Amino acid sequence: MDALTARDRWDIEEILRPAGGGGAYVDHAIELMLRFGVRVARGSRSVGWAARRALKTIDAFAIETEADYACALHELGHCVDSVTDRPIADRDYEPGFELSIESETYAWTFAVVSAGQRWSPMCHRTLQACLDSYGFAVDYRHEQQQIHALIAFSAERARRVVYFKAPPAIPTAIAPFVAQVPRSY
């Protein structure tokens, strides 16, 4: 994939920044998109966020809430994922919808770790709702353990942000994912 062009950079700003200009969450998401060389294409709220890893592109819309910020970082995690770098078509439940618990765990771990001190209770609730929706795809006990560990890690990270304490310990079930997340802070 070629380096980002001036047009790509303009698209990232134009698509992700809301009309009011946004704040620290928007600035951070844009910074990460630029740092990892991920392009952004205009998506729609009715369809939601989506990553196209092969194209290193995210279908997105303006980041207006902390939930949008969490989703943006999650989709970015799919684009930079080199840990689960295999086709996700191992489970195809609906036409066009492919899911790998390992890939989803990595992408959400990337979001939590990359957000750093910005990971909030709203970000956590977004992560938990999304992970809860993957229940139909969990086939193995270790996948369920990864999901539970990630939810606990996210909750602890969100609480620590609120109370300004040290980052939480990393649960064993998701440690391999956390170790592979490129440091962005």
Q: Look at residue 150 in the predicted model and tell me its pLDDT.
A: 93
How many residues does this entry show for the chain? 185
Q: Is 33 helix (H, G, I), strand (E, B) or coil?
A: helix
Interstrand relation of 50-52 and 57-60 (parallel, antiparallel or unpaired) = antiparallel
Cβ-contact 150, 120 below 8 angstroms? no
- Distance between CA atoms of residues 164 and 172, nearest Å: 24
Q: Look at residue 67 in the predicted model and tell me its pLDDT.
A: 95
Cβ-contact 155, 171 below 8 angstroms? no
- Distance between CA atoms of residues 93 and 171, nearest Å: 29
Note down pLDDT in tens along the chain; length 185 residues: 467 888 888 999 999 999 888 788 999 999 999 999 999 999 888 778 888 888 889 999 999 999 999 999 999 999 888 766 554 443 333 444 456 888 889 999 999 999 988 999 999 999 999 998 887 778 888 888 889 999 999 999 998 765 544 555 667 777 777 776 766 54
- Distance between CA atoms of residues 148 and 142, nearest Å: 10
- Distance between CA atoms of residues 80 and 65, nearest Å: 23
End-to-end CA separation in angstroms for the chain: 24
User: Which tokens in the block code for residue 64?
Assistant: 């207006």
The residue ranges of every structural domain in the chain are 6-64, 92-180
